[in-house]
């Protein structure tokens, strides 16, 4: 796989480089960015190219637009924040204002521009190869005769999309620093993890992570389960779970997975009579969840037990919060487990998504972890053993 360093060595001054970044950041109701982690992670590659004299065109998406442009999903906030971090303006080019036929965005060496949300064009995510290829051709036309493509959006490399996969077939393609570091870390986890190797999984649904659990169990020494998904496992052990999140159709699968003897479940949980920060709460044993109450976090006894397992680990992978960390009464499970991972001294990888957001939202030290991924779904699919189209195309 050719890398950003290879491209820089070849020379980029005066060349146009298309960079696929992942700027899919959360926004609040007023359109303000609530977690700029992915934008910050994109800076080194963009800065290196710009500093070397390239004309950088960033392609990215935000959310899942339906049927065309949606002002609420504009990349304008991301362009403004990236400009602040780069110390130079990043001009946002609306879809109707870039003409692929002319391929002229009025750029000079070192300039950085950002195309408006690429998913405003339905061809980006089309299952039709010809439709995606047509959009890719238009993107390639923007780069001129000596253009190049840098894939630096790890959060999208598991998608076969025009700006991720098809463009890489039409331009000299390189892995950006972010993608390269992500792949190297995940290879360590799959090929040669130091042992004991512990995995912490949370989040809401077992069905979302069933395949990765099945793939990981033969490779790990312990798999700790929290979050909403733990209640289906608890139900598989015969416990009543009140109004907690439960996937009844997955109980049989969970029962089979428990036979491995490697899965560690909570022994106590924080329950509430309502899904709100103002709800009444209690800490109860997992065999004493009241009818009508729902589990929204793991309890302190479980945090201690999880921390004991983690203290002896040499490698830790964490994906998914232990509870509804966005609400203060249900944040301590996630906080406690995260602090235990930091304190373990293990080679620790945070698998993107809500876990990475929790680290920042709870004020935990980012440098306390060995690596914080920018792509939750991509990380899980890699560990599951799936082929990631956006990586495979770089290896051709």
Q: Check whether 62 is labelled as a binding-site residue.
A: yes
Q: For the chain, give percent helix, strand, coil, nearest 5.
A: 45, 15, 40
Say whether 353 is catalytic.
Answer: yes
Q: Find the angle CA(8)-CA(11)-CA(15) to the nearest 5 degrees.
A: 105
Is the N-terminal amide bond of 10 cis, ω within 30° of 0? Answer: no
Q: Check whether 354 is labelled as a binding-site residue.
A: yes
Q: Check whether 345 is labelled as a binding-site residue.
A: no
Q: Check whether 119 is labelled as a binding-site residue.
A: yes
CB 199 within 8 A of CB 226: no
Most distant CA pair in the chain: distance in Å? 68
Q: Check whether 209 is labelled as a binding-site residue.
A: yes
The string over 285-303, giving b where at least 16 C-beta atoms fall within 10 Å of a residue's C-beta and e elsewhere, is: ebeebeeebbbbbbbeebb
Q: Check whether 294 is labelled as a binding-site residue.
A: no
Pick the catalytic residue: 2, 53, 103, 205?
205
Pick the catalytic residue: 353, 375, 376, 390?
353
Q: Check whether 323 is labelled as a binding-site residue.
A: no
Say whether 31 is catalytic.
Answer: no
How far apart, in whole angstroms, are the C-alpha atoms of residue 229 and residue 209? 9
Beta bridge partners of 271: 282, 295
Measure CA of the first residue to CA of the last residue in the chain; give whole Å.
8
Pick the catalytic residue: 37, 242, 333, 377?
377
Residues whose CB is less than 8 angstroms from the CB of residue 256 and which lie 6 or more positions away in sequence, other chains included: none
Say whether 262 is catalytic.
Answer: no
Q: Check whether 128 is labelled as a binding-site residue.
A: no
Pick the catalytic residue: 15, 38, 160, 294?
38
Binding site for substrate, residues?
Answer: 22-24, 38, 61-64, 119, 159
Binding site for (2R)-3-phosphoglycerate, residues?
Answer: 38, 119, 159
The catalytic residue positions are 38, 205, 353, 377
Binding site for ATP, residues?
Answer: 209, 295, 326, 352-355
Binding site, residues?
Answer: 22-24, 38, 61-64, 119, 159, 209, 295, 326, 352-355
């Amino acid at each position: 796989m050719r890398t950003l360093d290879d491209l820089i060595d070849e020379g980029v001054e005066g060349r146009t480089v298309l960079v696929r970044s992942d700027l899919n950041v959360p926004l609040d109701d007023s359109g303000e960015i609530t977690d700029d982690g992915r934008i910050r992670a994109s800076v080194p590659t963009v800065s290196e190219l710009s500093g070397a004299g390239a004309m950088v065109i960033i392609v990215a998406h935000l959310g899942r637009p339906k049927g065309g442009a949606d002002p609420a999903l504009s990349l304008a906030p991301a362009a403004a924040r990236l400009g602040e971090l780069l110390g130079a303006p990043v001009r946002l080019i609306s879809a109707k204002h870039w003409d692929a036929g002319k391929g002229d965005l009025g750029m000079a060496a070192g300039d950085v521009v950002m195309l408006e949300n690429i998913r405003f064009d339905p061809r980006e995510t089309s299952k039709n190869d010809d439709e995606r290829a047509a959009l890719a051709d238009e993107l390639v036309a923007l780069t001129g005769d000596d253009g190049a493509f840098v894939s630096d959006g790890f959060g999208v490399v598991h998608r076969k999309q025009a700006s991720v996969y098809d463009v890489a077939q039409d331009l000299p393609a390189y892995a950006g620093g972010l993608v390269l570091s992500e792949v190297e870390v995940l290879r360590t986890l799959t090929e040669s993890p130091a042992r004991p190797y512990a995995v912490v999984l949370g989040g809401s649904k077992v069905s979302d992570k069933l395949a990765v659990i099945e793939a990981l169990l033969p490779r790990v020494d312990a798999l700790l389960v929290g979050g909403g998904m733990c209640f289906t496992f608890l139900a598989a052990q015969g416990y009543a779970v009140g109004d907690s999140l439960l996937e009844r159709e997955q109980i049989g699968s969970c029962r089979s997975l428990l036979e491995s003897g490697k899965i560690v479940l909570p022994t106590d949980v924080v329950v509430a009579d309502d899904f709100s920060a103002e709800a009444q709460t209690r800490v109860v044993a997992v065999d004493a969840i009241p009818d009508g109450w729902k589990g929204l976090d793991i309890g302190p006894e479980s945090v201690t037990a999880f921390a004991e397992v983690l203290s002896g680990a040499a490698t830790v992978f964490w994906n998914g919060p232990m509870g509804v960390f966005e609400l203060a009464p249900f944040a301590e499970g996630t906080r406690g487990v995260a602090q235990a991972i930091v304190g373990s001294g293990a080679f620790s990888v945070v698998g993107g998504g809500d876990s990475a957001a929790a680290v920042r939202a709870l004020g935990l030290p980012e440098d306390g972890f060995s690596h914080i991924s920018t792509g939750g779904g991509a990380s899980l699919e890699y560990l599951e053993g799936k082929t990631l189209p956006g990586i495979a195309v770089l290896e051709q």
